[in-house]
Amino acid sequence: MARNILSTRVARKSQLTPTIIELNMKMIEPSSLMFKAGQFMMMNLPLKDGQKRPTLRAYSIASDANDSSSFKLIIKYVASGVGSEYIKSLNEGDTVSFTGPFGKLLFLEPPTSQVLLVSTGAGISQHTSYLLTHGSKYPNTVFKMLVGVWNEHEVFYQKELDFIKSRLRNFEYQFVIDRPSSSWKGLSGFVTHHLSLFDYKNIDTTFYLCGNPAMIDSVTAKLKSEGVNPEQILAEAFS
């Protein structure tokens, strides 16, 4: 069955770090998009000569599902990648085709007492959508976020996360730098090393993992070895 093609316009394009691009897409046809936090869109790349079907690239939605007129994507730029080079070439006002939304890794409601969101790089997109869409409905839930990046130059989205923090009194986030400089005062190493900060052995906690497959494997293995219920570990891997 053919899937409906959605037409959108690049309302804003932002280079957040040397390797992270944010696209704010405005719906054209149809004029609205119904999606759920945690879902992703398939970008349809332009057809090349002789190509009958478009090349597709999946990108998680980073925005509030209550806004149906637009959606945001946080994208990791990979040099020479077909999708990355196309996105790099886009200008504000350009039209882009998508199919979707897709994905079943949704926010579980009602949440547990504590929700721990662990991501690397662009994996923060899915978790940002969870918080914007659902966070304010659960003022007594503690939301904690760890974001792993390579170095200080790859730290991004503090303004957006501070906005969420202003709305959610029980939300805190921290970046974990894999290769910090001597001036870095925050957490360093791998996110796996810092899970014990959150007392999940004594607090009913759901874990959402998104990003690098190696991170997801490492965190999942640690949690399972400590007796965490596998049904409370929800993960989506992408590089």
Token readout for 8 is: 């959108």
Domain boundaries, given as residue ranges, for the chain: 6-102, 114-237
pLDDT of residue 50: 82
Instruction: Give per-residue pLDDT as tens, 29-86.
Output: 999 999 999 999 999 999 888 888 999 999 999 999 999 999 999 999 999 999 999 9
Taking the whole predicted model, whether its pTM rises above 0.85 is answered as yes
Tokens 């770090």 belong to residue: 17
Between helices 158-167 and 124-134, what is the axis angle to 10°? 20
Instruction: Give per-residue pLDDT as tens, 14-30.
Output: 999 999 999 999 999 99
Tell me whether the CATH fold assigned to 6-102 matches the one assigned to 114-237.
no
Beta-carbon contacts of 230 under 8 Å, excluding residues fewer than 6 positions away, are 224
Side-chain-side CA neighbours of residue 10 (13 Å): 18
Q: How far apart are CA 165 and CA 180, in angstroms?
A: 25
pLDDT of residue 4: 86
**CB–CB of 92/26 below 8 Å?**
no
Q: How far apart are CA 201 and CA 47, in angstroms?
A: 51
pLDDT of residue 16: 97
Beta-carbon contacts of 178 under 8 Å, excluding residues fewer than 6 positions away, are 148, 149, 150, 151, 188, 189, 190
pLDDT band at 1 (very low <50, low <70, confident <90, very high): very low
| CATH 3.40.50.80 applies to domain 114-237 | yes
Instruction: Give per-residue pLDDT as tens, 144-181.
Output: 999 999 999 999 999 999 999 999 999 999 999 999 99
53 vs 48, 49, 59, 84, CA distance in Å? 9, 11, 19, 19
Q: How far apart are CA 180 and CA 149, in angstroms?
A: 10
- At the fourth CATH level, the homologous superfamily of domain 6-102 is Translation factors (2.40.30.10)
Instruction: Give per-residue pLDDT as tens, 119-138.
Output: 999 999 999 999 999 999 99
Instruction: Give per-residue pLDDT as tens, 84-125.
Output: 999 999 999 999 999 999 999 999 999 999 999 999 999 999
Token readout for 51 is: 């190509």
pLDDT band at 239 (very low <50, low <70, confident <90, very high): low
